[in-house]
Structure 1
Amino acid sequence: MRCTHCGAIIPDDMLWCPECGMEVQIVPDYNPLEDVLAQEVKGSVEDATRQIRTDDIRRYRREGSREYSNSTRVLSQGELDEIRARRNAAMRQGRREGRNTTGSMRQSARGTTGNMRQASRNTTGSIRQDRADTGSMRRQATGTIHQRSEAEERRRQQIARKKRLAKKRRQRALIIFLLLIILAGVLGFVYYQNSYEGQIRKGNQALQSSDYSLAESYYKKAINKSSKKAEAYTGLSKVYIQQDDLEEAETVFTTAIASQPSNVELYKAAIQFYVDTKQLLKISELLADCEYDEVLEGVKDYVSKEPQFSLEEGTYEEVQQVTLSSDGGTIYYTDDGSEPDTSSKKYTEPILLKEEGSHVIKAITVNKKKVPSLTAARTYVIQLPIADAPSVTPSTGQYETASKITITVPEGYTAYYTTDNTDPTDPAVTPEEYTGPIDMPEGQTMFSAVLKNNNTGKYTQVTKRNYMLEITQ
């Protein structure tokens, strides 16, 4: 049976359509062979002499079978009642006409009654056979429908089974994937805990908890795992810094650099240590021993070079001038032999060496990072030549006329004299400064003259003259 709404095949044991869900209207089956039989019976009554031909019945049966097999229309109850009423009316009309003609036809019909009965039996047999065939067709159709339903059900079950299996496989794959992730996480955690980074992290935690012994142990383990990385050295130095042991903290870096003199990261860590502990001068001491250009390039911002001197060390017999220069930064210096720092004299112009004696000049350069360079020092000796004793005129003698006493004073010197036989170089004596020729005193005069170097303050030897002036009339 087919659904009148969607055309889907409805199994015999179902009261609604499996596709659209509409209720099935149950009506008696329509058999076209019944109409064929009624028409033939009516024709037999109207024309008792005409026999029903077997080929006609077969033709009707084939047509009816095709029509029935192709029919998908379900008759309503009203249509079914109308068909039955018409069929019953036709049969009653045929009976009345048959009675009217029975007498006249009885004689002629007797001869053919046997034939008609035989034909009727044949027809009835054929109809019964057709009904049997129809039932068989229905059973076959029903069987086919059941088979299709069962096949469809099996297919649906197979699809559902495949979906369940696929879902289980997905769930199993997901579980395996999650287990792998968990396993990888556990392995990763274990690896991290024992890795360089893991040791550093545990060392930092111990350092924050002031567990210095444990922190030192973790940092040393990290160094054993990777001696080239600087983070573990920095952590280990902090362990000693927090215990106020700066010397041991410094040793951590100096020892590491001694074994790895080209490791830029170690130099950077050491420099940061000196900055944090305010030991900037040691940065220059550390870099002074470095012979690797890649290291100096890597920490170039902290490199502070010593200032340059324009004058070589030595002894000079005249006044000298010293110029200082640097590649960058500010120069500070001292000229008394003390160590310079940022509170010393700031170099702005050449240094003049005008006094005799030894001059020790020390200077440093302070770069933009406030890192002072190592101290550069130079020693200069200024030793000016000593002039001869001054020339004094006139010479010693007795004079009868007034005379002038003259002292020859070379450039760079000042002449001093006394007239009472005292030494003009004696600190207890206050000599007279010579400014020009002086009058020779009357009587006996013990005249002493000396020259003083204006730069060094040194005196020459004393020149003495004995004058006797007696003026005659």
Structure 2
Amino acid sequence: MRCTHCGANIPDDQMVCPECGAEVQIVPDYNPLEDVIAREVKGSVEGATRPMQTDDIRRYRRDSLTQNVNSTRVLSQSEMDRIREKRRKGRKSSPEAEELRRNSRQKQQAQDRDESMRHRQGTDEIRRQRQGTDPAVKRQNTADLKSQRQQKRLEAAKRKRRRLLIALFCVIVFIGVVIFVAYQNSYTGMMQKGYRALQNNNYNAAEEYFQRAIIKDDSRPEAYTGWAEVYIDQDDLESAEDVFLDVIETQPTNAQLYQAAIDFYIDTEQQDKISALLNDCEDSSVLSAVSDYVSAAPEFKPEAGTYNEVQEITILSDTGGTIYYTTDGTDPTAETGTEYTEPILLQNEGEFEIRAIAVNANGIPSVVSSATYTIEFPIANAPAVTPSTGQYTEPTQITITVPDGYTAYYTMDGSTPDPSSSTTYQYSGPVDMPADTQTIFNAILVNNNNGKATDVTTRNYITTE
């Protein structure tokens, strides 16, 4: 072997270098088993432990015999004592050599102690690693174990969450299918199918869908509106109107149906029928719900009847609005009627029929109301004429008494007075009686209002001198 200091060859039986005098360092024999054990322990800590096999140990021992031929040989204690004794006998001791050997022994002993300590520490390290008692390793193992457990918990939570999401998705899909099926067969679903059929001009299918919706809920107005639109699209407004009138007859307290019917009349420009519909309603809650469309029919004062004098007719409406009327017996409208602004004066004899409507603020006309008035002025008696019939010898004047509202007419040739005749005179004051002749004097009164004439008053005058 060679000296580690100067590199000189040292005989096998010597413990000191013959060149530099350095003592041969004795080191523990290399044990490959310990390397194997250390690697196995380290592998177990890193999660890659591989069990030790007997064949591996034998192979390491066999390899060590061939690989460490030139390594420092380890001597037993008896061999070391024998060699040292031989050296002491074969060599002369000197103080320097003795001091050198002593220092070498002390140094060797210190190195042996250090090596033994390291060996024990390595052995304890291996033992702790085997038993898992090394604090750092134990902490690392504990941390790794916690990390593994945490990872497993996270993975388990992910799997659980994934399963829950899948289950929730399935439940949502199932509920969606149920809702879709239920919706398709619901009132709203039937309505949508009906309108789709109506858009495609499939009137029979549309009518069937709307009727099926009515079966599901006959109190809602939408299905009746859709059914009516089937007829409206075919220009059959009468049948469309019957849809509402028939159901209102069976549900007279359903305000929604009344509103739907009103909307139908407005959309088809038949506002004049709204008041007729509401006039037949006796439910106050319905009338309150559709109060914006109520237009009360006008009332007349004085009431209809026969009167013998001029009359002023007043027209009123409880719901206000604008009043239109006619006096020729026709139904008034906002376009054809006369707007009522002041009382109507009936100053001629005859029969008069007044018809009127009231149009409220929303443009809804009321039903037509009417009143008939008959004006018959009384006929006065035949006029009083003075002097009476007789023979007169002195000039005399003839006088006719004329009441208010009348005009007197007379003739002096015996004919009946006629205001349109040239032989008839209008009385304006006393008339001179003709002299030396016989005169037939006839007189009448004519009513200034109706032109009716009274009976004739006749006087026969004879004058002589």
Q: Give deviations 1:322-342, integer Å, cap 9, x for gaps.
A: 211123101112223322222
Counterpart amino acid of 1:213? N
TM-score with structure 1 setting the length: 0.71
Q: Is the 8 A contact 1:422 1:429 kept in 2?
A: no
Moved more, 439-448 or 259-268: 439-448
1:161 maps to 152
Give the CA deviation at 1:150. Answer: 5.7
2:298 maps to 307
| Structure-2 change in CA distance of 1:249 and 1:186 (3 Å) | same
Q: Is the 8 A contact 1:396 1:466 kept in 2?
A: yes
Match of 1:336 among 328, 333, 341: 328
Q: How many residues align?
A: 369
Q: Is the 8 A contact 1:423 1:429 kept in 2?
A: no
Q: Does 1:265 align with 2:256?
A: yes
Match of 1:465 among 456, 459, 462: 459
Taking the aligned partners of 1:310 and 1:433, their CA distance within structure 2 comes to 39
Moved more, 388-397 or 353-362: 353-362
Q: Is the partner of 1:352 in helix, strand or coil? A: strand
Q: Give deviations 1:251-305, integer Å, cap 9, x for gaps.
A: 1101111111111111111001111111112101100011111111111111000
2:442 maps to 448
Q: Is the partner of 1:228 in helix, strand or coil? A: coil
2:58 maps to none
Q: Is the partner of 1:321 in helix, strand or coil? A: strand
2:415 maps to 422
Q: Is the partner of 1:233 in helix, strand or coil? A: helix
Taking the aligned partners of 1:198 and 1:296, their CA distance within structure 2 comes to 32
Counterpart amino acid of 1:420? D
Percent identical among aligned pairs is: 47
Give the CA deviation at 1:154. Answer: 4.6
Q: Does 1:321 align with 2:312?
A: yes
| Structure-2 change in CA distance of 1:217 and 1:97 (3 Å) | farther
| Structure-2 change in CA distance of 1:436 and 1:170 (3 Å) | same
Q: Give deviations 1:217-246, integer Å, cap 9, x for gaps.
A: 111111111111111111111110111111
Give the CA deviation at 1:423. Answer: 1.8
Taking the aligned partners of 1:301 and 1:430, their CA distance within structure 2 comes to 67
Structural mapping, 1:6-85, within 5 Å: 13=42
Match of 2:168 among 169, 177, 183: 177
Match of 1:139 among 114, 118, 126: 126
Counterpart amino acid of 1:451? L
Taking the aligned partners of 1:242 and 1:101, their CA distance within structure 2 comes to 134
1:375 maps to 368
Counterpart amino acid of 2:244? F
Moved more, 234-243 or 166-175: 166-175
Q: Is the 8 A contact 2:409 2:419 kept in 1?
A: no
Match of 2:338 among 341, 345, 351: 345
2:31 maps to none
Q: Does 1:434 align with 2:434?
A: no
Q: Does 1:407 align with 2:400?
A: yes
Q: Structure 1 regions of 5+ residues with no counterpart? A: 1-9, 19-94, 103-116
| Structure-2 change in CA distance of 1:126 and 1:242 (3 Å) | closer
Taking the aligned partners of 1:101 and 1:334, their CA distance within structure 2 comes to 158
Q: Cα RMSD (Å) of the superposition?
A: 3.3
Q: Structure 2 regions of 5+ residues with no counterpart? A: 1-38, 48-92
TM-score with structure 2 setting the length: 0.72
| Structure-2 change in CA distance of 1:223 and 1:439 (3 Å) | same
Q: Give deviations 1:183-225, integer Å, cap 9, x for gaps.
A: 2222222111111111111111111111111111111111111
1:356 maps to 349
Q: Is the partner of 2:416 in helix, strand or coil? A: coil
| Structure-2 change in CA distance of 1:416 and 1:137 (3 Å) | same
Q: Give deviations 1:29-61, integer Å, cap 9, x for gaps.
A: xxxxxxxxxxxxxxxxxxxxxxxxxxxxxxxxx
Q: Give deviations 1:146-204, integer Å, cap 9, x for gaps.
A: 77666654543333222222111111211222222222222222111111111111111
Match of 2:233 among 215, 231, 242: 242
Q: Is the partner of 2:378 in helix, strand or coil? A: coil
Give the CA deviation at 1:130. Answer: 6.2
Q: Is the partner of 1:359 in helix, strand or coil? A: strand
Counterpart amino acid of 2:314? T
Counterpart amino acid of 1:458? K
Structural mapping, 1:151-300, within 5 Å: 152-300=143-291
| Structure-2 change in CA distance of 1:404 and 1:178 (3 Å) | same
